[in-house]
Structure 1
Amino acid sequence: MNKINVENAIPLTVNSASDQHTGSKALKRVVVAAMAGSFIEWFEFSVYGYMAAVMGKIFFTNAAPAVQLIASFATFAVAFIARPVGGMVFGIIGDKIGRKTALNITLLLMAAATFCIGLLPSESSIGVTAPVLLILLRLIQGFSSGGEVAGASIFVAEHSQDKHRTFMTSWVEVGCISGFIFGALTTAVLHFSFTEDALLQWAWRLPFMLAAPMALIGLYIRHKLEESPLFVKENQAAKSVSRPRLATQKKSLLISSGLIIGANIPLFIILTYMPSWLVSTLNLTAEKSLLMTVVPMFFLMMTIPLFGKLADRLSRKKIMSYGYLGMMIFSFPCFIALRSGEIALQFLALLSLNMLLSMLLSCILAKIPSLFQVSFRFTGMAISYNVAVALFAGTAPMFNAWLIKVTGNPFITAWYLIAGAAVGLVAVMAAEDKTGQPMSGDRRR
């Protein structure tokens, strides 16, 4: 497979929707800055998920091992409660003050909360106060992440040319997946490098401590960016023309939520829950489960822009429909293969699930912004994205761990994937396809 170089892949862009020109160098900065911010946010947010078993032992010391894992995933899920609130707040900031301002605030908040998690005492040191503080910091992380994905994707989408918008926004997902991969690799290195006692005593703090220097790097990359030309033009026009109301976009909000449920349930199950599923269900070591999932994640990261480029030619609707259908058809066979005990079949199953996920992630960050008009694009995407993720996707690891414990059925996870994909398929069929066209409310040159 040929490696895609983002520096060479980004074309000279004229934003046909806004009469504004984004030169190739400026667009490269926008894409790289969005990728960097997404990488940092999702490394910091996801590393807790990869450390779930360890965090359960540190902050829920007196519980049984299965309950520790459920409690740890519950603390992972609780961050998603704050995401809709963060989405609403940062949506207003992004639509009223600017996309760039919202993005910088989210990065700072996430870094501060993550760094503070690394400073927390264990439950054995200060009792119940430790998990309470952990939950509070996870809520701040969730509040922050409520604005990052929407802001980054909209920022890139509004700078991009209509005919390349899917490909351009797909790089934001590459940044997100890179963060997941770095989190998984960091966790694997910790397990390989330290004894369990050292890991539980102090080494678990190291990935959280990376938050501070990473945030400084992210802010440095972002500080020279110019505001979205569509946002600037909309603000100027709003002085003389009344803005449409978000309440008129109920259909777009519902469709956006469905698309997000269909794409993010597999995202959080395959990338966050799968390592723990392999440990708890197949009795693999933590190190082996992480290594088994990391290689398919690299495959996922490499194929996202390929599918993004293909979607700009064929249509986002086709690529996403194939992805949802594939997830519905192949989830159960993939989980049968995972339980086969054959390494080759297990690896093929993980590759297949990641390829189907790639088809969804390559398009979704261009698909959703196109549903909303510029004056409430940030708010509409942030609210629908975060409510859907909070209710259905972010809670998926916790519910799957609980359901498997209650029912003893390891195939619950496959059924969960199938249900999410069915919702996504209905949504993508109901959505107007704007591949190669201006986004809703944007005018051609």
Structure 2
Amino acid sequence: MPDADELITDALAAARDTDVRRAERQLDRLVVGTGAPDGAAAVDAALLRRLAAGVGRLWPRGWQPVDLARIAGRRLGARPARLLADAMALQRRDQPGPVPTWWDDQLRDLDAGLWWDDDRAHLTAWAAREGVDRVTALREAVEALALVEGLPPIAVLRPPPGSTPTGGPAGPGAGSRGGGGSRMLDRVRALLAKAESTTFPAEAEALTGKAQELMARHSLDEALLAADAPRTDLPGGVRLGTEAPYAGAKALLVQEVAAANGCEAVWSDDLGFATVLGWPADLEAVELLYTSLLVQATAEMLRGRGQRQVKGGGRRTRGYDESFLNAFALRIGERLRTVSAAASRQAAEAAGPERLLPVLAARGEAVRERMESLFPGVRRHRLTVRDAEGWASGTSAADRASLDLGGGRPGRQVRGKR
């Protein structure tokens, strides 16, 4: 009889093939196990061990726990994503070398912890916890392993566990000094929460604009502090989900929010995320604003769709929705850039343009250089408008004071990875 590792290898190869019957036969063999009295436990242990090893190989290839959880949820579903969270927890337990605090923060946010007592009985315990039979548990474990071992390398945004962080990229929160940034972010979150909950678009716009103003001022304060104490690290990055539907419109929203906050964005459509590069305070702003604006835009889009249907509009909604979200992203981007420019002018007047402007220029150039080094083969995707009503509604939702579209708006380009 083959051992557990051989059975897993055969099942994995079959799962990657297009022959469904072969995959089921190999899965049946995995269920039977090695034939030894402890054959099932041996399979459990080997699967968990191989999952943890595969996860560990992803970290030096640019993947972070949140990235793996997002793509697992997108491609496999919530239950296999939880299985991979267990694999991440096991890998963390055996991780040699230093582990940065932000890494453990991600694992904690994913609820990736060691809840089981015996690695050899993990899959059986996991199946009972999830309420599935052993066949389903083995199938999903093999699918999770196929995903982990098939993921391509991506840009390394921050030094992974076991590496030396000195001189590496900065991440969100890395540049905040004292507690002011945290208090400011609490105020921003409160403003954005109100913007998401209100049913009055004008109020949502005002609240979002105030949040952008606070974050722009915080970023400028950070820039001035950096001028007094030059830093040796590089701009960092975050990845924001742009899953279907309307992935292109979501990527455009990321790009517009990033541009308004001194960041660069690159969309990886095949992997379902956009990478945003910038300095810590700016990355925090982009994360918070994108998440909130996506909620606001979706709510406005659904209201607009409903009003359209009441008025006897067409049944097809995809063109309307996509045009709505594209228009919303562009108009929001314009408004956010206006707020940021006003904050920059005020800061320059207070600190002196000869002091602030060179600092901002140097920081912007560092971000562009970081993007070019990580994504040398980027190209632009043009987004087209398919529904004039959706475009008009999206623009008015983003800015009620600007309703006259004239002859229409040209499509905007989104930077994407080749």
Question: What TM-score, normalized by structure 1, do the two folds share?
Answer: 0.21
Question: What TM-score, normalized by structure 2, do the two folds share?
Answer: 0.22
More helix per residue = 1
Structure whose CA Rg is larger? 2
Which structure is higher in RCO with an 8 Å CA cutoff and minimum separation 6?
1
